[in-house]
C-alpha cells in the first residue's frame, strides 16, 4: 500500500484520541475498558477475520509473506471503522479502544521494522510474532499474550 495509507494512522489516531479525551469528559474506567476491549478485538480479528478465507485473508497473507513491506490494514479502512464506532461507543471507551489500536500498530511496526536485540523490551514479542509468521497457528496477540493463553494458542518463544 502507499506510504500515506500505511503511516496515516500514526498521526490520525493520536489526534483522534486527543479530541475524544478533551471533548468527551472521559472517565478512567471508560478508557481502561476500551483498551481492554481492544485486546480481545485484536485477537479475534487476527485469528478469525485475517486467517480465514475469504474476507481479509488475501491482504493478511501478503503481510505474512512480506512482513517488512508496507502491508496490513490501510489507515483509510481503519479510520473508517473508528468513525463508525464513534456512532456506537462513548467517547472515553472509544479513546481507550483507539489507544489499544495505537499500541498495536506501533508494536507491530516495531517488531518488523526496528532493530530489536535480545535486551530490548519488545524482543519476546518479536520472537513470538516471528513464530506466527513462520506458519504456526499461534501467538495471534500482539499487545498482550492474555487471549492466546485463554484460548490455547499461546506458544512460548523459542
Ligand atoms: Zn497472521
Ligand atoms: Zn506481522
What lies within 8 Å, CB to CB, of 11 at 6+ separation is none
Decide if pLDDT at 54 tops 80.
no
Distance CA 39, CA 10 (A): 18
Nearest ligand by distance to the CA of 105: 2
Ligand 2: centre distance to CA 18 (Å) = 27
Between 62 and 149, whose confidence is greater?
149
Per-residue DSSP letter, 118: T
Nearest partner of 97 among 111, 113, 77, 83, judged by Cα:
83
Residues contacting 60, CB < 8 A, separation 6+: 46, 50, 51, 72
How far is ligand 1, taken at its centre, from the CA of residue 83, in Å?
A: 25
Q: How many angstroms is it from 63 CA to the middle of ligand 2?
A: 6
CB 67 within 8 A of CB 133: yes
Rounded Cα–Cα distance for residues 141 and 43 (Å): 5
Give the ligand with the smallest distance to the CA of 142. 2
Take residue 76 and report the three cell numbers written for it: 483509510
Cα-to-centroid distance, 17 and ligand 2 (Å): 24
pTM of the model: 0.92
Residue range 59-64: mean pLDDT, rounded: 84
pLDDT for position 2: 84
Cα of 63 vs centre of ligand 1, distance in Å, is: 8
Per-residue pLDDT of 117-142, as tens digits, reads 999 999 999 999 999 998 888 999 99
DSSP state of 73: S
What's the distance, CA 54 to chain centroid? Answer: 20
Residue 121 C-alpha to ligand 1 middle, in angstroms?
A: 22
Amino acid at each position: 500500500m502507499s506510504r500515506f495509507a500505511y503511516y496515516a494512522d500514526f498521526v490520525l489516531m493520536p489526534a483522534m484520541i486527543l479530541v475524544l479525551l478533551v471533548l468527551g469528559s472521559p472517565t478512567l474506567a471508560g478508557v481502561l475498558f476500551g483498551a481492554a476491549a481492544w485486546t480481545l478485538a485484536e485477537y479475534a480479528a487476527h485469528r478469525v477475520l485475517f486467517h480465514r478465507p475469504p474476507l481479509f485473508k488475501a491482504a493478511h497473507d501478503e503481510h505474512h509473506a512480506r512482513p517488512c513491506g508496507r502491508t496490513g490494514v490501510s489507515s483509510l479502512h481503519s479510520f473508517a471503522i473508528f468513525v463508525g464506532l464513534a456512532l456506537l461507543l462513548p467517547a472515553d471507551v472509544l479513546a481507550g479502544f483507539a489507544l489499544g489500536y495505537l499500541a498495536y500498530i506501533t508494536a507491530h511496526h516495531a517488531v518488523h521494522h526496528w532493530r530489536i536485540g535480545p535486551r530490548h523490551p519488545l524482543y519476546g514479542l518479536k520472537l513470538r510474532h516471528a513464530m506466527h509468521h513462520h506458519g504456526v497457528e499461534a501467538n495471534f496477540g500482539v499487545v498482550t499474550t492474555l487471549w492466546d493463553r485463554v484460548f490455547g494458542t499461546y506458544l512460548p518463544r523459542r
